[in-house]
Structures are given as C-alpha cells and as structure tokens.
C-alpha cells in the first residue's frame, strides 16, 4: 500500500526565518511524483512544489525547496525567509501513477509569527 506520513501536526516559525516540514512516504512504484500543497485559511489548495522521482535534482520554487531522498523515501519542504502569508496547512502528497489517485499526508499546520 502507498502511504504518506507527516509527523509534525503543528509547527511555528518567526518571520524571515527558515523552517523545514517533514514528509516520508512508501510506494512500490519506480516512477512517481511528489507534491507539497498549501491550504491557507481561504481553504483553496495551492500547489507549492512538485518533484519527479526520476529526477535527482531537488525542485525549487523561489523561497520553497525540497530535500528529496529517494532511497530513504523522504521528501521535506524548506521554506526560506518565512512570510506571514505562508501561514497555512501544508499537505505532502504522492501520485502513485497506476493507482490513479493523489495520496495525502495528514498535514502540518504552519504558523508564521511576526
């Protein structure tokens, strides 16, 4: 079975500092995609960053970057220079391809404090 685990239910960070959100997963697929989604209080799910498993290079999107460790099945999200607008629930998700569904972790609630 494919699973996604986020072990940090809540985290907080001071504005302008860096924070890392953890995610581990399990899959038997050789090729797959991993995502981080952000859900702010507005409730809209917003794609933050995407990683293709066959690419060794870690994905980056402005202040957001991932540390993808394929052997360890780890996919952490680093947010640099945290901003108040980064306050949200963050979901790690796995697309296992043949299963045809996004598998979400339980989420990490991030609070950025002024």
User: Would you call 77 exposed, middle or buried from its count of C-beta atoms within 10 A (0-12, 13-18, 19+)?
Assistant: buried
Cα 68 from Cα 77, distance rounded (Å): 9
* Smallest distance from other proteins to CB 7, Å: 14
Q: Is residue 64 near other proteins by the rule CB under 8 A? A: no
Cα 57 from Cα 2, distance rounded (Å): 23
Number of residues interacting with other proteins: please give it, by CB under 8 A.
21
* Smallest distance from other proteins to CB 16, Å: 28
Given the complex with other proteins, which of 9 and 114 has the nearer CB atom? Answer: 9
Q: Is residue 84 near other proteins by the rule CB under 8 A? A: no
Q: Which residues bind other proteins (CB under 8 A)?
A: 32-33, 42-47, 50, 52, 91, 95, 97-98, 100-102, 104-107
């Amino acid at each position: 079975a494919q699973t996604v685990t986020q072990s940090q239910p809540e985290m907080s960070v001071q504005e302008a500092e860096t924070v890392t959100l953890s995610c581990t997963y399990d899959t038997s697929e050789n090729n797959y995609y991993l995502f981080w989604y952000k859900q702010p209080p507005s409730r809209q799910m917003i794609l933050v960053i995407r990683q293709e498993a066959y690419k060794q290079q870690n994905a980056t999107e402005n202040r957001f970057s991932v540390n993808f460790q394929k052997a360890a099945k780890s996919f952490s999200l680093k947010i640099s220079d945290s901003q108040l607008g980064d306050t949200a629930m963050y979901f790690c998700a796995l697309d296992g391809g043949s299963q045809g569904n996004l598998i979400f972790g339980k989420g990490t609630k991030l609070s950025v404090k002024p």
